[in-house]
Chains A and B, each alone.
Chain A
Amino acid sequence: MAQTAIPGDAEELPEYPLARQCPHLPPDGLNRLRARAPITRARLAGGRVAWIVTGYPEMRALLTDARLSSNRQHPQFPFVVPVPAFEQLRREQGALTRGALGSTLIGADPPDHSRQRRMLIPHFTVRKIPRPAIERIVDERLDAMSSAGPSVDLVSTFALPVPSMVICELLGVPYEDHEFFEEQARRRLDPGNTDAFGRLHEYLERLVRRKQQRPGAGEPGLLDELLDTHVADGALDLPELVSFALLLLLAGHDTTANMLALSTLTLLAHPEQLAELRAHPDRWPNAVDELLRYVSIVNGSPRVATADIDIGGVLIKAGDGVLLSNGGANHDPNLAAHPEVFDIAREQSHHLAFGYGIHQCLGQNLARAELAIGLRALFTRFPGLRSRAPIGDVPAKQGLLAGLDELWVDW
């Protein structure tokens, strides 16, 4: 008889989320859950029981199952930890964004999701990746590291600024405002901050109005292109455009920054493979995919079931919360042999670091390019790069995303 989510009163269940022991590996506990079953139950903060999916084939199947909803306004949507930026924006801005940010793209189902995503797809194609801009931004940050060196925090001098500057340019933020944008993007991630996100929101509102009044002025970017097309023909209004811009920052900043930092740490921990990459730079793209699989920074993708789903020996009932574990699936032997081994020579594995299904990361090709260009340039510029602290002493960060608060390096 299939398991259901309703536990016996006294039933002892693992707690979710699980803690990382090593900063650049998913929690060990995921392997123990998967050993029991690819879909098991765990208790969220507050006592609610949800399904945890750690099996690769099951996660692929569920990510393409229309009975799982991404709608964050659904009353039974499972929030694993409160998302401070969304809560803060709701408090500060009230109805200004029509509560839109939480239900934009990542938090929306078809048909809203399809309509929104289609407006952005043309700007994130393989052809549109701004490689020269990424190279320039990376070089500028390496110059800054060099000037501040020979001992710097890689996170604040390189990992954080590279992706926020790429997004800044992609959007078409004027050059004179780049420093403000980068500073607020960084402050947003500081737990003590309360106003960075609101300040970015206000800034972007003013910027889109200015761009609308003077088309063609200043640095053109995604905001201008959307103003000229979907806003001009009434398919998109300014609040929704601002929501898109903020979501691109939310989705593309600390994710990429954390991957840059943890990839650096992982490569420093595997010097023989790093040496191979120095000798054969054409292997960087494959190495980036293995880093994405191995590190798996996203600690779970939440969904709510809108109908019963019979899968993998369990019965998910309508209203149940489902946490799809990227790290669990990416370390399933069904995906890759000896998944706990970091091996840049693996054949590309179709991992789920960027998810799967209609919500698969819109910026994945941009992220891959930033990682390949950024990491290669970093290790070329600083051949003697090393961690100041012993690698095993670098602490694991817990939360929605894995990452590093700081990584002191010298060369």
Chain B
Amino acid sequence: MTRLRITADAERCVGSGQCVLTAPHIFDQGDDGLVRLLTDVVGEEDRASVEDAAHYCPARALGFGTQAEDV
């Protein structure tokens, strides 16, 4: 079963919060208003949300890749 590893670059972030609105169980905004990951590995069931958030991010600060689970 594959999982997705997510990256969020706070340096690029402009605080739009669209990732939070798209997937509030994965993305949050810290005290500085910049992106903060609540988790950096999610299951396939979250792929659509993660793709959506990455597409929506105005700063293109989000990335994701498939991670093969260790057996």
Contacts and interface: CB of A to CB of B under 8 A. Distances in A.
A126 interface: yes
Contact of A360 (B14, B21, B31): B14
A63 B60 CA distance: 11
A124 interface: yes
Given A118-B32, A121-B33, A121-B34, A126 B58 contact: no
Interface stretch (A67-75, A293-301, A350-358): A350-358
B29 interface: yes
Q: Interface size class for chain B?
A: 10 to 19
A64 interface: yes
Given A118-B32, A122-B33, A358 B58 contact: yes
B32 A121 contact: yes
Interface string B7-18: 000000011110
B14 A125 contact: no
Contact of A126 (B29, B59, B60): B29
B20 interface: yes
**Is chain A's interface secondary structure helix, strand, loop, or mixed overall?**
helix
Q: Taking each of B14, B29, B58, which has the highest tally of chain A beta carbons within 10 Å of its own beta carbon?
A: B58
State the main secondary structure of chain B at its contact with A. Answer: loop
Interface in A21-74: 63-64
Interface in A112-128: 117-118, 121-127
Contacts, number: 44
B56 interface: yes
Interface in B15-54: 15-17, 20-21, 29, 31-34
B14 A121 contact: yes
A60 to B, nearest CB: 9
Interface string A346-373: 0000100001111010101100000000
A123 B46 CA distance: 29
A117 B15 contact: yes
A360 B56 CA distance: 11
Contacts of A358: 14, 58-59
Contacts of A355: 58
Given A126-B20, A360-B16, A364-B16, 5 more contacts: A64-B58, A121-B32, A121-B34, A350-B56, A357-B58
Interface of B: 14-17, 20-21, 29, 31-34, 55-56, 58-60
18 contacts: A63-B58, A118-B32, A121-B14, A121-B33, A122-B32, A122-B33, A124-B17, A124-B33, A125-B33, A126-B17, A126-B20, A126-B21, A350-B56, A357-B58, A358-B14, A360-B14, A360-B16, A360-B58
